[in-house]
Amino acid sequence: MNILLIYPEFPDTFWSFKYALPFVGKRSTLPPLGLLTVAAMLPAEWDVRLVDTNVRKLADKDLAWADWAFISAMVIQREPSRRIVDRCKEAGLQVVAGGPLFNIEHELFPAVDHFILNEAELTLPPFLADLAQGHPKRIYATNEFADMHTTPTPRWDLLNRKRYASMGIQFSRGCPFNCDFCNITALLGHRVRMKSSRQIIAELDSLYALGWRGELFFVDDNFIGNKRFLKQDLLPALTEWRKGKIGNVFFTEASIDLADDTPLMDQMVKAGFDTVFIGIETPDESSLKECSKAQNTNRDLVEDVKRIQRAGLQVQGGFIVGFDNDPPSIFQRQIDFIQRSGIVTAMVGLLQAPPGTRLYERMEQEGRLDAAASGDNADGTTNIIPAMSLEALKEGYRKILSHIYSPAPYYRRVRTFLREYKPVHVPYRLRFCHVRALFRAFYLLGIVGKERVQYWKLMLWTQFRHPRLVPKAIMLAIYGYHFRKVCEKHVV
């Protein structure tokens, strides 16, 4: 049996880093971790290949080789997924689909032959058993949650690893919080389920043995969901694993209460983490209460961010406008917060209501759903009818983006961050891609770019004030180039 795993292309968004990747000679930020994990669950005698259309095109010869096509996607990949399903069916292939997109919208894909919904550890085995008997059903679904101790090591060998900027690792699923716009708990539950440290180390060993020395993203929606296990088990194991190794750096997602736990932050930095993404959402207390973001309320959020930065962790932040309680001043308040906090990678989006969330249910009851969610909360669209006028919301959104990603305020924000950032160590291994990025940045940002004055001011300032952080400053300048290109093309 020849199995072709296909991952649809991501559209051009803030998170795609499309305009930053060429600086380091890469095609995609991350590989399709879900498909690689599914590949490890398939029968050993099957011949399996992967086509990630973010790094290469799906060719006719790929389809001619295959007997079956397995597709996984997120909501933001809806339209590319349709095109891939159509091509597979035209080629006469049986199509199996799973992942967040199909969990939510499988009824919109009538051409798909079989759906493996929810978590594959539970729904893929019965499909394979029925397939072996010659009578597979169309839909396999469950209300249960998987025991992650049964999750295998992903098939990294299927990748052309040189095409990716980082690799993904999943330690846990589920989140203890209950933000009403987030569908994570609907998909994965509130109880935090974890792999063992032994599993994580085995995954890291397998990647290291294949020569991977780059960044590793722990893709957990809230890495610190079980702090006790992190402190007592995983982080000590990661610290031990990194001894004598150069180049592997970790980043992840966490909740703002990380700022309350200095020992945990110290352990994360010692274990090799240097970046965390945190959902800040809004500086408006009433809007935080509206969306049940209780963990962010009654805080000095700017000081929390700076405390994390001073611990040696760069904070990337998610922000939302469009809450019912947002006042007209929210757009300037978001700008002021982002600038004062020094969150360089600030992802600001309009509020969307994904199916399965409490927000979706409320908007449906109030007759305020307007369209299908795009899955990209930073594309300037929303699927709800906002409390303020849609024109005012979109104009305010454009105001935020045009300000925070303009060269002058953006580079000021980089300096604000570098003043606070106190890395215990700078785990940096010079590779060819870094040299390539240096020369490309020198030309595109320092010579022909409209930000060239700000770029050289930042480079000189960093060289004299924080010389160890020059590589970080260059990286953030490249990010700024990407964000501005996306704004110019799609939003502002």
Contacts of residue 242, defined as CB under 8 A and 6 or more positions apart, other chains included, come to 248, 271, 272
**Could you give the CA distance from residue 13 to residue 279 in angstroms, rounded to a whole number?**
18
Which of 100, 252, 104, 248 lies closest to 170, judged by CA? 252
Give pLDDT, residue 419.
96
Give pLDDT, residue 429.
58
Helix ranges restricted to H, 100-183: 100-105, 120-133
17: left (phi over 0), alpha (psi -120 to 50) or beta: left
Give pLDDT, residue 193.
97
Give pLDDT, residue 381.
86
**Could you give the CA distance from residue 431 to residue 54 in angstroms, rounded to a whole number?**
23
The strand pair at 94-98 and 166-169 is best described as unpaired
The strand pair at 139-140 and 166-169 is best described as unpaired
Beta bridge partners of 218: 169, 252
Give pLDDT, residue 244.
83
**Could you give the CA distance from residue 255 to residue 66 in angstroms, rounded to a whole number?**
43
Helices 235-242 & 197-209, crossing angle to 10 degrees? 30
Give the position of tokens 């959020």: 301
**Cα R_g (the chain), whole angstroms:** 22
**Could you give the CA distance from residue 62 to residue 84 in angstroms, rounded to a whole number?**
12
Give pLDDT, residue 490.
66
Q: In this predicted model, what pLDDT tens digit does every residue of 371-409 receive, in sequence order?
A: 777 777 667 889 999 999 999 999 999 999 999 999 999
The SS3 assignment for 339 reads helix
Residue 138 neighbours by CB distance under 10 Å? 9
Give pLDDT, residue 294.
94
Domain chopping of the chain, boundaries = 2-140, 165-420, 432-491
Q: What string of pLDDT tens digits covers the 492 residues of the chain?
A: 999 999 999 998 888 999 999 999 999 999 999 999 999 999 999 999 999 999 999 999 999 999 999 999 999 999 999 999 999 999 999 999 999 999 999 999 999 999 999 999 999 999 999 999 999 999 999 999 999 999 999 999 999 999 999 999 999 999 999 999 998 888 898 899 999 999 999 999 999 999 999 999 999 999 999 999 999 999 999 999 999 887 789 999 999 999 999 999 999 999 999 999 999 999 999 999 999 999 999 999 999 999 999 999 999 999 999 999 999 999 999 999 999 999 999 999 999 999 989 999 999 999 999 877 777 766 788 999 999 999 999 999 999 999 999 999 999 999 999 999 998 765 455 566 778 888 999 999 999 989 999 999 999 999 999 999 999 999 999 999 999 999 887 665
Residue 201 neighbours by CB distance under 10 Å? 15
From residue 463, how far is each of 23, 199, 471 by CA, in Å?
21, 41, 10
SS (H, E, C) 83-120: HHHHHHHHCCCEEEEECHHHHHHHHHCCCCCEEECCCH
Please provide the distance, in angstroms rounded to a whole number, between the alpha carbons at the two ends of the chain.
49
Two structure tokens written together for 29: 């930020």
Give the single-character DSSP code of 163.
G
From residue 159, how far is each of 5, 36, 68, 75, 162 by CA, in Å?
11, 9, 19, 23, 8
Q: Which CATH number fits domain 2-140: 3.40.50.280, 3.20.20.70, 3.90.79.10, 3.30.1330.10?
A: 3.40.50.280
**Could you give the CA distance from residue 36 to residue 5 in angstroms, rounded to a whole number?**
9
Give the single-character DSSP code of 12.
S
Give pLDDT, residue 186.
81
**Could you give the CA distance from residue 404 to residue 389 in angstroms, rounded to a whole number?**
23
**Could you give the CA distance from residue 107 to residue 326 in angstroms, rounded to a whole number?**
35
What pTM was computed for the model? 0.94
Two structure tokens written together for 313: 């962790």
CA 234, 427, 268: angle at the middle one, nearest 5?
30
From residue 430, how far is each of 129, 217, 437, 471 by CA, in Å?
48, 19, 11, 10
**Could you give the CA distance from residue 222 to residue 220 in angstroms, rounded to a whole number?**
5
Contacts of residue 9, defined as CB under 8 A and 6 or more positions apart, other chains included, come to 53, 54, 77, 80
Residue 254 burial (C-beta neighbours within 10 Å; 0-12, 13-18, 19+): buried
Residue 480 neighbours by CB distance under 10 Å? 27
Give pLDDT, residue 375.
72
The strand pair at 94-98 and 249-254 is best described as unpaired
Which of 137, 122, 145, 147 lies closest to 38, judged by CA? 122
Q: 165-420: what fold?
A: TIM Barrel (3.20.20)
Which of 275, 473, 490 lies closest to 397, judged by CA? 490
**Could you give the CA distance from residue 1 to residue 67 in angstroms, rounded to a whole number?**
6
Two structure tokens written together for 405: 């990603």
Continuous segment of H or E residues that includes residue 412: helix 407-420
Give pLDDT, residue 240.
96
Residue 294 neighbours by CB distance under 10 Å? 12
